């Protein structure tokens, strides 16, 4: 397991810093490719849902039933799964409404009226959004890190899925900050920094959870991670994908994500 530490940290860092890609897209493209974002967000949701229900949940159940017995192990698995959902739902509730990272932005929003530059309300919104994404990404960092530590192939799949969904979040930070300040560097820096909470989550997981990592702890964490990822997919990714493109593209992306994840799991059995 020790040999996977660097990979686990690296994957978590990559996933978190994908928010910076979103801000770069905002600066170097003239329009938002909504169809592309719609498909990729659906794809990300498909990967997360499939791997959570088919792989992570099952591994959690096997670990817990093996340690606690069939009945108690199954109960703890299900309770941990819904506890993960509850955790991420509570985080969403605590985030100030004006900083909600689910509020989509487009690159076209960069071309607003010039008198908006210097608007403190827009700057505040961008700063709140960066903070909200930072809070939101913390448990995702734990999820990516613990998954990669246990199973590198699984960690890569989760890291890619989380990185994809961090791209529009980077746009959501960069657009209002640039709009308010006219400063691309400041907008990029805030967007970039908002993703650093994911590697921070990995560090916290390593320092606090690793000393206690036995089969029971592993099972509880994995079941909770499955709940977190299913909630993110249903509450954030699919609604965002539908807002970017209201045709069937998000569902096609979701099915493709499930199929790719299923194939990759079959190939690495």
- For the annotated binding site for Fe(2+), the residues are 137, 140, 166, 169, 198
- For the annotated binding site for Zn(2+), the residues are 140, 165, 169
pLDDT of residue 84: 94
Structure tokens given for 188: 């990029």
**CA 213/CA 69 separation, integer angstroms:** 19
pTM for this entry: 0.80
- For the annotated binding site, the residues are 137, 140, 165-166, 169, 198
**CA 168/CA 240 separation, integer angstroms:** 9
Q: Residue 128's closest CA among 181, 183, 190?
A: 190
Express each pLDDT in 124-175 by its tens digit. 777 777 887 888 888 889 888 988 888 888 888 889 888 888 888 888 788 7
pLDDT class for 105, splitting at 50, 70, 90? low
Among the listed ranges 12-16, 30-34, 180-184, 262-266, which one has the minimum average pLDDT value?
30-34
């Amino acid at each position: 397991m020790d040999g996977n530490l660097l990979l686990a940290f690296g994957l978590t860092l990559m996933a978190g810093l994908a928010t910076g890609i979103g801000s770069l897209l905002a600066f170097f493209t003239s329009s938002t490719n909504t169809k592309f974002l719609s498909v990729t967000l659906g794809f990300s949701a498909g990967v997360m849902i499939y791997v959570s229900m088919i792989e992570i949940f099952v591994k959690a159940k096997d670990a817990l039933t093996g340690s606690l017995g069939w009945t108690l192990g199954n109960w703890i698995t299900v309770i941990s799964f819904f506890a993960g959902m509850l955790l991420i739902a509570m985080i969403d509730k605590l985030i100030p409404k004006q900083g909600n990272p689910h509020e989509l932005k487009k690159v076209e929003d960069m071309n607003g009226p010039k008198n908006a530059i210097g608007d403190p309300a827009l700057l505040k919104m961008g700063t709140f959004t960066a903070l909200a994404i930072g809070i939101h990404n913390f448990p995702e960092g734990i999820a990516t890190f613990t998954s990669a530590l246990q199973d590198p192939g699984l960690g890569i799949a989760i890291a890619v899925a989380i990185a994809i969904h961090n791209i529009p979040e980077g746009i959501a930070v960069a657009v209002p900050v640039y709009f308010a300040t006219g400063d691309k560097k400041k907008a990029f820096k805030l967007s970039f920094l908002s993703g650093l909470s994911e590697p921070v989550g990995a560090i916290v997981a390593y320092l606090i959870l690793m000393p206690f990592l036995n089969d029971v702890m592993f099972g509880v964490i994995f079941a909770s991670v499955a709940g977190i990822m299913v909630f993110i997919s249903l509450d954030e990714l699919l609604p965002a994908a539908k807002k970017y493109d209201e045709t069937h593209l998000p569902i096609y992306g979701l099915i493709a994500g499930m199929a790719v994840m299923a194939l990759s799991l079959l190939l690495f059995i």
